[in-house]
Amino acid sequence: MPIVLGGIADDFTGATDLANNLVRAGMRTVQVIGVPQDALQEGAANGLDLTEVDAVVVALKSRSCPVDQAISESLAALEWLKAQGARQLFFKYCSTFDSTPEGNIGPVADALLEALSATQTAFVPAFPINGRSVYQGHLFVGDRLLNDSGMQHHPLNPMTDADIVRVLSRQTPHGVGLLDHATLCRGAQEARQRLDELAHQNVRHVVCDSLDEQDLEVLAEALVDHALVTGGSGLAQALPAQYRRKGWLEPIDDAAVLAPAKGAAMVLSGSCSRMTLKQVAHFTQQHAAFALDPVKLNASDTHFEAALEFAREQLAATDPKPFLIYASAEPESVKAAQASLGVKQAGELIECALASLASTLVAEGVGRLLVAGGETSGAVVSALDIRELRIGGQIDPGVPWTQAPHPAAGPSQPEAMLSLTLKSGNFGGEDFFTRAFDVLDAMNPREENA
Ligand SMILES: Nc1ncnc2c1ncn2[C@@H]1O[C@H](COP(=O)(O)OP(=O)(O)O)[C@@H](O)[C@H]1O
Ligand SMILES: O=C(O)[C@@H](O)C(=O)COP(=O)(O)O
């Protein structure tokens, strides 16, 4: 059977967020890291068995890279997903619309539309259960406008304007319009009519209001026949019901199953988002932690080596407890590091250090790994050379446990798995770093002595 939905996600945490909501709504979903390179075969692609899979999400690291690269990687993902038979494409970006005036959301959406010979797509960043809603085209995080939510301090893409119609208009030469809440309240048929009217006015990009799950259901019904939809993962909760209604998807019992987890627990955090800072503070009250400083990392290798030594001490304990290595810092400290090193270099130094720690420590006994931050997750997963993630149960909305073949397992252990959770910056409760491991143990009892 061809797949129904093909996801193209602009970062790795966003990809697991999308895959998580698809799984929860009953789609058997595989997440692949980057576009699989090998030749396609009947029923299999790059060694992936897609015969019992309803959705594939391709995770890219295209949120903050140069626009041309984001476009070419997204188009490659589109081609591969079309070759798997995807009926609908979903371009997943952040529910806080993380982007800059150059892009990459607008240019990538334009390129995908053109490649699909489609004339219109919808922009649905809302993720109500995580407090992201859109009203009159303005994005809210909880009760704050986006530009007052902490996102104005993001290290890579500060969001200083909550008006998504205006933000997107800076990123595309094409018309941008609004499907407003009042129209949505009149149902899917009215919404479709409004989309058609906007299409006749050459409005290629339609930002959609949505306050709650009910609005997303109306939108899913109105958008199910669009070749391309774009947004946060909220819409993905509502689309599978429409696919079933159309007979594209069979009902199934449980789309999320993982093997028992093994190995020591480690948290790596490169996210400076408000919620991550609270999670770091909560965790460090009771657990061992090491703070990475980009300026010290730049000055000599000693700082990195101290972090490694700290981790090795934790792993050497008889019964290792979860521990944390983090660069997460308050905005003033991030600004100071960026002023001294440059924005790009500060970020890259930390991403490289965390990625390198992950590869070394996973080979030395870490089997349960929590990574906080989208860019950070991209760096860590790439360093571990992980190609595919199975999606398991949810820890908090938008964040599931996943598993990948263990990167350090030899040929004699083909079943060995690394349990991995990739946490978006602002997702998860304050106790997420501790609770995540309890949730994993509860859903998949741990095999001792791994
Ligand atoms: N102390 C710091 N100073 C400067 N940049 C930092 C610091 N800590 C983390 N960063 C960088 O900030 C970026 C955070 O982005 P990301 O990992 O996507 O987190 P989030 O999911 O919260 O957006 C990364 O590039 C990371 O390397
Ligand atoms: O849609 C969302 O909010 C997340 O899935 C996401 O993309 C968050 O990105 P990061 O905060 O950079 O992890």
Q: Where are the alpha helices (DSSP H) in 201-267?
A: 213-223, 234-245
Ligand 2 in reach of 11 Cβ (< 6 A): yes
Residue 206 pLDDT more than 60? Answer: yes
Q: How far apart are CA 388 and CA 324, in angstroms?
A: 25
* Residues recorded for the chain: 450
| pLDDT score of 307 | 98
Residue 120 pLDDT more than 80? Answer: yes
Pocket test for ligand 1, best of 60, 146, 272, 277 (most atoms within 8 A of CB): 272
Ligand 2 in reach of 137 Cβ (< 6 A): no
322-333 burial: b if 16+ Cβ within 10 Å, else e: bbbbbbbbebee
Q: In this predicted model, what pLDDT tens digit does every residue of 363-380 receive, in sequence order?
A: 999 999 999 999 999 999
Residue 41 pLDDT more than 50? Answer: no
What's the whole-model pTM score? 0.91
Residues contacting 54, CB < 8 A, separation 6+: 3, 4, 5, 22, 27, 28, 29, 240, 243, 249, 255
Residues contacting 227, CB < 8 A, separation 6+: 88, 89, 116, 118
- Please give the backbone phi and psi of residue 347, each rounded to the nearest 5 degrees, phi first: -60, -45
Going by CA atoms, what residue is nearest to atom 5 of ligand 1? 347
Nearest atom within ligand 1 for CA of residue 272: 22
| pLDDT score of 266 | 98
| pLDDT score of 91 | 98
Ligand nearest to the CA of 60: 2
Nearest atom within ligand 1 for CA of residue 423: 21
| pLDDT score of 299 | 96
Residue 23: closest CA among 374, 215, 257, 372: 257
* Ligand 1 center–CA 10 separation, angstroms: 16
Average confidence (pLDDT) over 252-271: 86
Q: In this predicted model, what pLDDT tens digit does every residue of 287-306 receive, in sequence order?
A: 999 999 999 999 999 999 99
Pocket test for ligand 2, best of 12, 350, 424 (most atoms within 8 A of CB): 424
Ligand nearest to the CA of 427: 2
End-to-end CA distance of the chain: 37
Cβ pair 296, 240 in contact under 8 A = no
Residue 43 pLDDT more than 70? Answer: no
Average confidence (pLDDT) over 213-225: 98
Q: pLDDT grade, residue 38 (50/70/90)?
A: low
Which residues, in sequence order, are bridge partners of residue 48? 45
User: What is the dihedral sign for C-alpha 293, 284, 268, 334?
Assistant: negative
Cβ-in-10-Å burial (0-12, 13-18, 19+) of 153 comes to middle
* Ligand 1 center–CA 373 separation, angstroms: 7
Q: How far apart are CA 281 and CA 270, in angstroms?
A: 14
Average confidence (pLDDT) over 344-358: 97
Cβ pair 401, 395 in contact under 8 A = yes
Q: If you search the block for the tokens 């980009």, which residue do you land on?
A: 294
Residue 229 pLDDT more than 90? Answer: yes
ipTM score assigned to the predicted complex: 0.97
Percent of the chain residues past pLDDT 90, beyond the cut: 86
CA distances (Å), 175 to each of 197, 204, 268, 294, in order? Answer: 13, 6, 41, 42
The whole-angstrom distance between residue 171's C-alpha and the CA centroid of its chain comes to 21
Going by CA atoms, what residue is nearest to atom 5 of ligand 2? 14
Going by CA atoms, what residue is nearest to atom 3 of ligand 1? 334
Q: In this predicted model, what pLDDT tens digit does every residue of 321-346 receive, in sequence order?
A: 999 999 999 999 999 999 999 999 99
Average confidence (pLDDT) over 13-42: 86
Residue 450 pLDDT more than 70? Answer: no
Q: In this predicted model, what pLDDT tens digit does every residue of 174-190 receive, in sequence order?
A: 999 999 999 999 999 99
Residue 40 pLDDT more than 70? Answer: no
Angle at 249 between CA 247 and CA 252, to 5 degrees: 130
Ligand 2 in reach of 10 Cβ (< 6 A): no
Q: pLDDT grade, residue 46 (50/70/90)?
A: low
Per mean pLDDT, which range of 32-46, 65-79, 141-155, 218-232 is the poorest? Answer: 32-46
Pocket of ligand 1, beta carbon within 6 A: 154-156, 270-273, 276, 294, 327-329, 333-334, 337-338, 346-347, 350-351, 373-376, 424-425
Which residues, in sequence order, are bridge partners of residue 205? 121, 176
